[in-house]
Structure 1
Amino acid sequence: MNITSTIHHTARARAGVPLALGRQHPKAAYQQTDLAALAKYFILLMLRNVTSDGYVIEDPANPGQYSVPGCIIAAPSFPSNTPGVDQDYVYNWVRDAAITAIEIAAADLPATPGGGVPSLTDYVSFARLCQSNAHPTLGHACFTVAGQPRPWTEQNDGPAIQSLALLQAYPQLDAATQAIARQVIETNISYLLGAYQQPTTNLWEEHEGLSFFARSVQLRCFREVAANSYGIGVAANVPTAIAWLENALQDHWNGSYYVTMLAPGAGPGVSIVSGDLGYDPNIDIISACVYGAVPTTDTRLLATAARLRSQWADPNSNSFYPINGTDQARGIGPLLGRYPGDTYDGDVAHPVAGGHPWALCTCNFAELYYRLANDVDHAGKVPLDSLSEDFFAQVGVTSTTSIADASAALRNAGDAMLRAVVYHSDRYELSEQFDGTSGYEKSVHNLTWSYASFLSAVRAKTGGSKLSGKAASKSARTSGGKK
């Protein structure tokens, strides 16, 4: 938050106001934010939710029980400690932890002499602990800070995205930890080969069915394991699983958008969720691109994305967030939510109609823009057809737009979304949600996934697998670590 805003505004969600200098009207501070530089600070904020030998968390639901190194909590939120927010997020969700571990690996943190990156070494050990304790299946989604299963749902995207995180971290691990990582991955793959065709609980932990997100992440996992050069065993039926999932993802298309959750046996495009609940279009389709195998150039994906943006950014939409109208005048946004019928308020446990935008949803969409811009530059063409024309029209791209201008428009759209997240942050700290009317932060504070999604988007913006800049350190491989 800049000094002008700190002095003149008590509102925590404001991060700078343009000042008129004579007749000049310079850009507001929030329109000039160096997103890549800010990402380095967000790494530090994210790491506050990662435990180690020297940073221990007491389980607020079980006093006297302390965290094991490598636990990544979703957020430091517990009702008695966070007045006004009736949520307990002091747990390790397999998916959230894996997404965070991917960003830790991408941050190029320093390794110990002759060893690996400590936070990644701890993560691998904690992943093995949770895997060994998982019950009733290896798809169990949530664990205590001590690595014990918490009563929760089975979510079969978890083992897949955890395996992807371990593959990302692998070069920064010492030899002993690499052996553990291989074992965890091979166990995950064995489980997934028996589960990938089955229904599972979805990304938002609300419905069970055939999940587009889970299938996309599983497909990417199988592909990357099949191509690995680390000595990780590849079962003979992995190619069969890859082919099956490639076909299964096509079944989610209903002629207008990808349906998030299919009803088993009901045929292509038939949702398991009643239409009056407003569960589609669902932002987890975008997350399936960010974390899974759906390419950015899939024009069915882009058709879905266009509907997602318009339902929260178009004033004529019943799901329109008023803050997006205000932010449009600032040249930032829009902020995006999960799905049009969302009733999860975040501050309270009971359903509240209306829904609100989420930081991670907005950052995932921004990443789609950045990655698509990169793909357009690389291919030298824009994937513009009758399905994707609305998506490109939203950022001012038509059939006559040059390649350079099209990729620039996409990057500018991504920047506007990330700058809205920064503008409405609480002195750069990110909550789970923003109020759809006022823009103020709401729900749990310091959501780990919010930071991770911002970091992932910035990596896509800069076109690299790691965050650029002098702050990056040598990896274990170049610091004397064993491979």
Structure 2
Amino acid sequence: MTPPTTDTAFTGWLDRQYAIAARDLTLGVSATHLVKERPPFRQRIVPRPGSVVASAVMGAYDPDPDYFFHWFRDSALVMDALRILVAQGTRPAEDAGHIRDFIRFSLGLRGLTGADVLAKGDPRQGVDPDVVQHVRSETDLRGVAGDRVWGEVRVNPDGTLDTLNWSRPQHDGSALRALILQRCLDDGVLELDVRDEAAALLRIDLDFVLAHHAEPSFEIWEDSLGHDYYTRVVQCAALRRGAEWLEAQGDAEAAGRCRDASSALATALDGHWRPETRAYASLLPAASGTAGRDLDIAAILGVLHAGLPSGPHSVLDPKAQATLVALEDLFAGLFPINAGRPAPALGRYREDRYCGGGAWYIATLAAAEFHCRLAAALAGGAAFALTADNRGFVTRVLAAEPREEDVDSRRLAAAFRDRGDAFLATVQAFTPPDGALSEQIDRATGAQTSAKHLGWSYAGFITAVDARRRAAPV
């Protein structure tokens, strides 16, 4: 099979799809022209500037899900992709105003409390009887006070608390936002008058991670409570980078606390390794008798979103590489659409049945980005270690059992980049001509399913192709 890298039709599609993703990424950003009506709940939501709705396409589980919320995690990832587009000049410099508005919207959430919601009346009042069970209880709402707002998972895009039942708390949002803020400050995409506000929000996020990193929370998919690999690795990276930033600000005491917590998280992350499956377990149970989860694409997403430059829990980690191989094997056999496909479309985890439990664009794009980031690291001079853990990973990429002489950085970088292209070619196979990216791909038919125009899907495409461009041909 000719590697997609040399296929001009493929590279032409990549350029066109990148332009579409760069355009459609912001469909849900500052969508002040939209109005979301939830008649059974007597809600009317008008987004504020700086809010990011996960999907701007109205859904009410009819069958498309209702994603008209500002998720802390999704919004941070969309802003990270926008940062890349502005920094590289794909989008104009004035689009950094979206990041400025996002920072101000986020700062405006400080002080939100459940008590204030209740002071305006019972949120169940007037709600249709057949949906009242989906409204949060008074006890639940009263628990939202102080910094607990940052564990809320999501808020309404008008800047009010979400009064619907959901899986709370979730602790990845502040860590992700801290990482994105630090990248924005480093890239220089922020206007000077916003940098102080970004620094204030960054301190809030670092303080939240410091205060709550040892607590269990709901994992990235909002299904199960426990100690989540994804959450821990982005918290570890946020605190590690935060320590450097705080030290540069002259706050050695806070920097030391961040380093100590980051070290504790790194040790905890090592405990997710499962030698019997050669993979990082995604979720460790919060207590005896509660469920955990082994193979889950969330582990690979965590490695990518944390962005550690080297060492354990980076793309150079042989154990992370082994985890990706195990996930490829799982979904190659699980999804009928992968029959005969060189690079399988990936889903979340084996038991997933949400909206059919199909392949996810973000999962398949994560595999592409992982390989391209690894190629870029090797092209940049990083050393590659061949171990018993990652031998299967290298064998798959080289299509042969590796020998010591095969561990050549130039050869491996080219092979990893081509493997990344194979996953991007799989995404191409399931992308319609208009370039629209939904949340999922039906595991049997290949049709798009679940939320339409998912901001996270566009963000995943942008970061994957950006990684490919950084992995220059060698």
TM-score scaled by length of structure 1: 0.78
Contact 1:57–1:145, Cα closer than 8 Å, also in 2: no
Q: Of residues 60, 64, 74 in structure 2, which corresponds to 1:96?
A: 74
Contact 1:186–1:233, Cα closer than 8 Å, also in 2: no
Q: Of residues 188, 193, 196 in structure 1, which corresponds to 2:210?
A: 193
Which shows bigger deviation, 356-365 or 124-133?
124-133
Per-residue deviation at 1:104? Answer: 0.8
5+ residue gaps, structure 2, are 1-5, 114-143
Q: Of residues 103, 112, 116 in structure 2, which corresponds to 1:133?
A: 112
Contact 2:36–2:58, Cα closer than 8 Å, also in 1: no
SS at 1:209 equivalent? strand
CA distance in 2, matches of 1:430, 1:49: 14
Per-residue deviation at 1:381? Answer: 4.4
Which residue pairs with 1:45 in the alignment? Answer: 24
5+ residue gaps, structure 1, are 1-26, 346-351, 468-483
Which residue pairs with 1:180 in the alignment? Answer: 197
Q: How does 1:156-167 map to 2 (within 5 A)?
A: 156-167=171-182
2:243 partner letter: A
CA distance in 2, matches of 1:375, 1:383: 13
Per-residue deviation at 1:223? Answer: 1.3
1:71–1:258 CA distance, 2 compared to 1 (3 A): same
SS at 2:28 equivalent? coil
Per-residue deviation at 1:169? Answer: 2.3
Which residue pairs with 2:414 in the alignment? Answer: 408
Contact 2:175–2:235, Cα closer than 8 Å, also in 1: yes
CA distance in 1, matches of 2:351, 2:441: 16
1:284 partner letter: A
Which residue pairs with 1:281 in the alignment? Answer: 295
- The answer to whether structure 1 residue 396 and structure 2 residue 406 are counterparts is no
2:83 partner letter: A
Q: Of residues 197, 208, 233 in structure 2, which corresponds to 1:216?
A: 233
SS at 2:362 equivalent? helix
Contact 2:45–2:156, Cα closer than 8 Å, also in 1: no
Per-residue deviation at 1:396? Answer: 2.1
Per-residue deviation at 1:92? Answer: 0.6
1:461 partner letter: R
SS at 2:226 equivalent? strand
1:173–1:51 CA distance, 2 compared to 1 (3 A): same
TM-align CA RMSD:
2.5
1:237–1:84 CA distance, 2 compared to 1 (3 A): closer
SS at 2:196 equivalent? helix
CA distance in 2, matches of 1:146, 1:453: 25
Per-residue deviation at 1:370? Answer: 0.6
CA distance in 2, matches of 1:264, 1:57: 40
Per-residue deviation at 1:327? Answer: 3.8
Which residue pairs with 2:130 in the alignment? Answer: none
Q: Of residues 170, 184, 187 in structure 2, which corresponds to 1:155?
A: 170
1:380–1:64 CA distance, 2 compared to 1 (3 A): closer
Per-residue deviation at 1:206? Answer: 0.5
1:139 partner letter: G
Per-residue deviation at 1:100? Answer: 0.6
Contact 1:257–1:281, Cα closer than 8 Å, also in 2: yes
CA distance in 1, matches of 2:251, 2:453: 38
1:252 partner letter: H
Q: How does 1:40-119 map to 2 (within 5 A)?
A: 40-51=19-30, 55-61=32-38, 64-79=44-59, 84-85=63-64, 87-108=65-86, 109-112=91-94, 117-119=96-98
Which residue pairs with 1:473 in the alignment? Answer: none
Percent identity between the aligned chains?
A: 24
Contact 1:260–1:281, Cα closer than 8 Å, also in 2: yes
CA distance in 1, matches of 2:257, 2:304: 26
**Greater length-normalized contact order (CA 8 Å, ≥ 6 residues apart):** 1
The one-character-per-residue Cα deviations of 1:381-420 (angstroms, maximum 9, x if unpaired) are 4332111011122222522434323222211111121222
Which residue pairs with 1:459 in the alignment? Answer: 466
How many residue pairs align between the two structures?
407
1:356 partner letter: G
Which residue pairs with 1:334 in the alignment? Answer: 344
SS at 1:237 equivalent? helix
CA distance in 1, matches of 2:301, 2:314: 11
- The answer to whether structure 1 residue 429 and structure 2 residue 407 are counterparts is no
SS at 1:60 equivalent? strand
1:296 partner letter: V
Q: Of residues 370, 373, 384 in structure 1, which corresponds to 2:372?
A: 370
Per-residue deviation at 1:173? Answer: 2.3
Which residue pairs with 2:157 in the alignment? Answer: 145
Contact 2:27–2:56, Cα closer than 8 Å, also in 1: no
Q: Of residues 255, 262, 266 in structure 2, which corresponds to 1:242?
A: 262
CA distance in 1, matches of 2:354, 2:66: 14
Which residue pairs with 2:272 in the alignment? Answer: 252
Which shows bigger deviation, 451-460 or 180-189?
180-189
1:233–1:146 CA distance, 2 compared to 1 (3 A): farther
1:422–1:185 CA distance, 2 compared to 1 (3 A): same
1:181–1:406 CA distance, 2 compared to 1 (3 A): same
Per-residue deviation at 1:68? Answer: 0.4
Per-residue deviation at 1:35? Answer: 2.2
SS at 2:205 equivalent? helix
CA distance in 1, matches of 2:380, 2:190: 32
1:306 partner letter: V
Which residue pairs with 1:3 in the alignment? Answer: none
CA distance in 1, matches of 2:201, 2:460: 24
2:435 partner letter: Y
The one-character-per-residue Cα deviations of 1:204-259 (angstroms, maximum 9, x if unpaired) are 00011111111100111011111227748561411211111111111111212111
